[in-house]
Amino acid sequence: MNTPHTFTTGSGTPGKYYSLPALEAAGIGKVSRLPVSIRIVLESLLRNLDGKKVTEADVKNLANWNAKAPGEYEIPFTVARIVLQDFTGVPLLVDLAAMRSKVKQLGKNPKMVEPLVPVDLVVDHSVQVDYAGTQNALNQNLALEFERNKERYQFLKWGEQAFNTFKVVPPGIGIVHQVNLEYLAKGVLEKDGVYYPDSLVGTDSHTTMINGLGVVGWGVGGIEAEAGMLGQPVTFLVPEVVGVYLTGALKEGVTATDLVLEVTQKLRKLGVVGKFVEFYGPGAVSLPVTDRATIANMAPEYGATMGFFGVDEETIAYLRGTGRSEELCTTVTNYYKAQGMWGIPTEKGALDFTTEMEMDLSTVVPCVSGPKRPQDRIEVPTLKGKFRDLLGSEVKAGGFGKADSFKPAEVVVNSKADVKDTITDGSVLIAAITSCTNTSNPNVMLAAGLLAKKANAKGLTVKPSVKTSLGPGSRVVTDYLNKTGLQVELDKLGFQTVGYGCTTCIGNSGPLDAGIEDVVKSKDVVAASVLSGNRNFEARVHQSIKANFLMSPPLVVAYAIAGTVDIDLSKDEIVAGSGVYLKDIWPTLAEVRDAMASALSPEVFRKLYTDFASQNPKWNEIQGSVGDVFEWDGKSTYIQHPPFFADFSMTPGDITEIKGARPLGIFGDSVTTDHISPAGAIKKASPAGRFLLENGVTQADFNSYGSRRGNDLVMTRGTFANVRIKNLMLGGKEGGDTLLQPAGTEMSIYDAAEAYKAAGTPTIVIGAEDYGMGSSRDWAAKGTRLLGVKAVITKSFERIHRSNLVGMGVLPCNFKDKADYDKVKDLSDATFDLLGLSNDFKPMSEATLRVHKADGSSFDIPVIVRIDTPVEIDYYRAGGILPYVLAQILRANA
């Protein structure tokens, strides 16, 4: 395929590239009709064509992508780089360290285990909001973060010196996705004189935020990212591509957050799980990159693999405004023009899409989403009525089951100062401007500051029972809030900066005041949180707060002042008796635009993204070990040598039938990876809490599950331990318990799993729709495997979790007929066989689930085994992707 051509780079010299127009000119596909997102993947295939990992057939298949019937073939996509956050990045580094230890044990050179593409890890998930509402909260939280995470940070320091291509952005710099958008992304990369589009995968599902900059990338599990780091293509089935044609413009009083919540609702309804979504049309062209990134960020919430916007003048303006060099800006422009991929089409029919949806931006209205899922959009005027309906609705119908509601209860907010307040159902107890979704967007951040300024001028305040916090996505946000004088206004209402990282949105909201916590539990108060994040699944924000609503930063400030979600802000006084309404303090688009003039300053970006070490003295104080192989400490409760290579063999294992399995859990719809994976606080009475106490860790030093992801002994005990998960084996009772059969004894899922393993009894998990939706938590799959689960059988899976189960050697299956789920959901005392499995197995084949009821009768159910691609069969037979990759490395270096 004669496609190497040259173009003029930003330095004025020729640059080599693999030409997609030349591919079309050679008669290989109508490339110019392909969605741009598909073309960028196609360029990677063309450039990496070697006849082994990427073949001519792979290139031809994708070049001839059929929009209406894409087919069933797999795409071996070689990404340019990998991005990690520390919660998922630390266990990934643990696995690499274990791989090196195994290589050394085998008498080989451990240096053969080395990332083959650049890897950037941003430490952003470890800060917790222990302190809030004070000017010193930032420094106090940062000090606590370093105290709690010293072992983990020492380990990261070891990783930086042990691996040549592994770099760390230290704590206190920003959220991984915003750092990626503002600093790491280059638009076009160069290696050995060849230029190519920036592309990546990341170990956080919101990696998709970078799609707003025209960069192809999405979230994968840590195990998939690790394989990508070690030279394996990211293999996925050819996707359908949904074209979303945007027209019009947002009206006065409407924010990008309102837009993305509506996009999320509409695309969830349309059904885009596992698909690419590409936005185009005049409405898309009119959106600034920061608004595009807000929409792209929430692709996991609407279920898509990506939410992509093409490269155009706005893209270059953003690169220039964030301090990228003029040379780079010119290179990106010239490259995309040479490839025929410049600009976002404005005409319908310009490109071929599988399906299309049209949306008029002028129809978007202010809204929130909740109280349990991002796609459950509620227009602001209807929130009060919706909350009241949910309050009295049955729990099984998604409500809170409270017949006796809105009884005020007095709480002691601060016992030392004798500060008291009154709360009731609907009271806002956490108000957090948090998460990459919005904190990367100056429009909504400045709007929050302007609303605070107007509220202060009207004499409005926030009740003492509301825990307020501001977690900017980067230090650039602080710079422009200070320049505009708006940080002072936010401070007056209690929205002082608490840290630069993911906080409330991932469950790092920190504790409520003890007095409030006691009343919430004793009076069963259905309290609320309001946050500008992207996730509000049950027990994610805080285990004691049941109603969680996503909204724009200015609305977070407004509801914090109101102190309740039991209010119609479109017509009620924001505080009873104040005479002030939301419309009186809402900033105009003109006011936001005026403030924006000083928001993007290239010099500030260059200054704040240079020489991280000198900007964070605490990071310099951390001393890591040195050497190519990590020195494991058996006494550590943070970093442990994982067992994934204990039975390592160069010979693939056999695919065999599963017989006599007991169900470890039977679950309903929308079980998220937050429900499965250990997340948030560690309960004292839980298996993980008991383990830590037995190992000399006091409850005050438990830290979070996320911070202990490098220790499989903690994480396995925390799998399925979410306080809100409902196991149907216990009638839907909340909490991570099950019934140990055949006696039917109630105990924790972990303890039952250990008992089954001791008895040699295999286990399975049964689920309904959207099993594994949510964040790309690799421990949801790792923990399932280490509990001894052999198969997970559901109505449907979310994309990443299905892939991760295969990657850990667990068999994912779907009921061929979803109605068959109803035949087994009540059979907690049955045993199950999975028949028809052998080494001759082909992807997506059918197997038989034989159900043996307690009364001695049995029946068969057809299931589809969701091993989707040939390479996944190899992963499964190897016992997972990690031993598979290690065997590949050892063969290559034999």
Mean pLDDT by 10 residues, the chain (894 residues): 92 98 96 98 96 90 96 90 91 94 97 94 91 95 91 95 95 94 96 97 93 96 84 88 98 96 96 95 97 96 96 97 97 98 96 98 97 94 96 89 89 86 96 88 96 98 97 94 96 97 85 92 94 87 93 98 97 97 96 86 93 83 93 94 94 97 96 88 92 95 87 96 93 93 97 98 97 82 97 92 92 98 98 97 95 97 93 93 92 90
- Within 8 A by CB and 6+ apart from 80, the residues are 117, 118, 189, 196, 197, 198, 199, 200
Strands 306-308 and 276-280: parallel
Structure tokens at 727: 């196991």
pTM across the whole model: 0.86
Q: Note the pLDDT of residue 505.
A: 81
Residue given tokens 């001839």 in the structure block: 64
> Of 496, 429, 494, 413, whose CA–CA distance to 456 is shortest?
494
Ordered structural domains, the chain, with CATH? 4-77 (no CATH), 81-130+147-232+239-344 (3.30.499.10), 367-600 (3.30.499.10), 658-677+727-878 (3.20.19.10), 678-718 (no CATH)
236, burial (CB in 10 Å: exposed 0-12, middle 13-18, buried 19+): buried
Q: Note the pLDDT of residue 177.
A: 95
> Of 557, 545, 560, whose CA–CA distance to 509 is shortest?
545
Q: Tell me the C-alpha distance between 691 and 738, whole Å.
A: 19
DSSP structure class, residue 180: I
Q: Note the pLDDT of residue 266.
A: 97
Element (H, E) at 357: strand 355-360
Q: How far apart are the first and last CA of the chain?
A: 32
3-state secondary structure of 423: strand
Q: Note the pLDDT of residue 776.
A: 59
Q: What is the dihedral of CA 659, 660, 662, 663, to 10 degrees?
A: 40
Q: Note the pLDDT of residue 75.
A: 93
